[in-house]
Amino acid sequence: MGNSALRAHVETAQKTGVFQLKDRGLTEFPSELQKLTSNLRTIDLSNNKIESLPTLLIGKFTLLKSLSLNNNKLTVLPDELCNLKKLETLSLNNNHLRELPSTFGQLSALKTLSLSGNQLGALPPQLCSLRHLDVVDLSKNQIRSIPDIVGELQVIELNLNQNQISQISVKISCCPRLKVLRLEENCLELSMLPQSILSDSQICLLAVEGNLFEIKKLRELEGYDKYMERFTATKKKFA
């Protein structure tokens, strides 16, 4: 795209605090944004061809609350991204990410994280350090098992649909705020689903269609009635 068009976007963003440039075939993060490090609150560069984020620039957006880079070609995230102390929403769906930076737990304000359609092979343990995280979408990755550390997650909603999960730690029942757990289209046998999810957790919406068992068998498990009490109570609350 032409320099004048980009300049116009930068000038608008200077006034609004929002920089949005989607579907433009960009191959790199616009360096022009270095003029706006102290006033941007929202950046959306979704549906481009960006392969990496500039290490010297990305951590300097001190007021940034929302960053969207869905449908790009990112393979790694720089540690400097984790300097964004005000970031509340991070959307990186449909990239090529295999892991998160070790410093990811420093994104202390993060509330919503979307990583659907990447190449993550495991639940990132860094997520357990994020005390304000409400919603995490890890659907359409390559996660095979959920380890004990999951019990430390503070999230309210965890989406693990369309992975390759065949094992889940019983510690998932210990998540203090977890209300919605999505596990559709994985590789779960009914015997691998911890019964404590039903009998002894906060979970009031459990989605497990498309696994290696029939849903009617789930209804026969001990604790299912307790789960249904929570499910019904929540439904009434939102009705």
What are the pLDDT digits (tens) for 40-65?
999 999 999 999 999 999 999 999 99
pLDDT value at residue 239:
62
pLDDT value at residue 12:
93
3-state secondary structure 63-117: CCCEEECCCCCCCCCCHHHHHCCCCCEEECCCCCCCCCCHHHHHCCCCCEEECCC
Structure-token match 């499910």, residue found? 231
Question: What is the share, in percent, of the chain residues with pLDDT greater than 70?
Answer: 98
The phi and psi torsions of 135 (rounded to 5 degrees) equal -130, 130
**In contact, 63 and 41? CB cutoff 8 Å:** yes
- Mean pLDDT across the stretch 7-11? 90
- Mean pLDDT across the stretch 74-84? 97
Measured CA to CA, the distance from residue 159 to residue 140 in angstroms comes to 10
Residue 237 banded pLDDT, cuts 50, 70, 90? confident
Give the helix ranges, DSSP H, for the chain: 3-16, 55-58, 196-199, 215-218, 224-238
What are the pLDDT digits (tens) for 183-217?
999 999 999 999 999 999 999 999 999 999 999 99
Closest by Cα among 105, 106, 115 to 159: 115
pLDDT value at residue 1:
54
Residues in the chain: 239
Task: Examine the pLDDT at 104 and tell me if it is beyond 80.
Answer: yes
Whole-number mean pLDDT of the chain? Answer: 96
pTM for the full predicted model: 0.96
Phi-psi region of 229 (alpha: psi -120 to 50; beta: other; left: phi over 0): alpha
Task: Examine the pLDDT at 39 and tell me if it is beyond 80.
Answer: yes
pLDDT value at residue 157:
98
